[in-house]
Amino acid sequence: MSQPEPARTLFALSPAEAETAVVRLGGRAFHARIARREACARGLLDYAAMTSLPAELRARLAAELPLVSARETARRTARDGTVKLLLAFPDGRTVETVWIPSRKSGTGATLCVSTQVGCPVRCPFCASGKDGLVRNLEWPEIVEQYLFGRAVGALARSVVMGIGEPLLNYANLLRALEFVRGELGLGARKITVSTVGFPERLERAAADDPAFQLAISLHSPDDEQRWELVPAMRGVPVEDVLAAGDRWFERTGRELTYEYVLLGGTNDSPGHAARLAARLRGRRASVNLIPYNPVDEAGYARPDAETAERFRRVLVDAGVVATVRWSRGLESDAACGQLRIRAGK
């Protein structure tokens, strides 16, 4: 699958390369550092607003070395303050990133980012994979989502849970997260990467001991049903995924989270809960139960609060740490991929 040529932008360069580029355009090395700091610390994505830079240099940089390649083409803001952005790259492809404010005022937001245009996993309940995978994002394109998110407001943590399967674009993800840690200052404990759990890719990642927390999207304790809900994992037993999670903990010392989307009338029965509890009992992991965000024409339902709590109680009674996570921003195309689909990109 062909990839776009990386755009010549300030944030497609390393800090040292950026300094060289700015000097070539008539500035000083410290001007590059100022520009990057203004974008990362203050959320400025327009050289014109960076008044600490000489006006002539600002104009030259805007013409010859733009900060980013993407442009914001749509924004939805929910009543709870959640902001969903649709970003378009020069090739016309789009991704979503979501800025989710903390419920505690003044503590910064969580940014949810994407790693691919489209998704090869193609879960039938998810809008992200409706049309399959288009292409991987290059590392600067992942970085740009963080910059646009920072422009919305301060960031306290990040979840790589947007469009795409992160471990299928692992090299670009790792390089982008180097930027997140180094220039945005989010430590490893503040970054969570979500995957459907390809065992061999988890093994490789665990061997690297990467600086992020891990979440595995499970969605069913039963092989046949999981293969229907997560088609890319067909033929891989649930127990193999859990064993790979165990080895992640053994290699990294970091407990992981299992994510379980509760689909009303599909995978949310007491029997499902009991079988999930039996699989997870004694393992060093916790469970996030996520009541389904409705997707147009997907044919799945959102369970009520009583059903979600009953499911959680079965897990807790079996000694499994479990939390119900009600999604934010429901009225702003909250289900991942819906804004992109409605924009036709």
For the annotated catalytic residues, the residue numbers are: 96, 336
Q: If you search the block for the tokens 């709870």, which residue do you land on?
A: 80
Question: At what angle are helices 170-183 and 139-152 packed, to 10 degrees?
Answer: 40
Check the CA dihedral 283-285-289-292 and report its sign.
negative
Q: Which two tokens stand for residue 32?
A: 């590059």
The pairs formed by 176-180 with CB atoms below 8 angstroms and a separation of 24 or more are 176/139, 176/140, 176/142, 176/143, 176/146, 177/210, 177/211, 177/212, 179/11, 179/139, 179/143, 179/146, 180/143, 180/146
CA dist 299 → 7, 69, 125, 265, 317 (Å) = 40, 37, 8, 11, 31
Check the CA dihedral 286-117-13-154 and report its sign.
negative
289: helix, strand or coil: strand
Instruction: Transcribe 170-209 into DSSP letters.
Output: HHHHHHHHHHHHHHS---GGGEEEEE---HHHHHHHHHH-
* Amino acid, res. 255: E
Nearest of 34, 2, 38, 42 to residue 18 by alpha carbon? 34
* Amino acid, res. 18: A
What DSSP character marks residue 12?
G
Rounded CA separation 165/173 (Å)? 10
Q: If you search the block for the tokens 């195309």, which residue do you land on?
A: 333
What DSSP character marks residue 157?
E
Nearest of 192, 191, 247, 239 to residue 218 by alpha carbon? 239
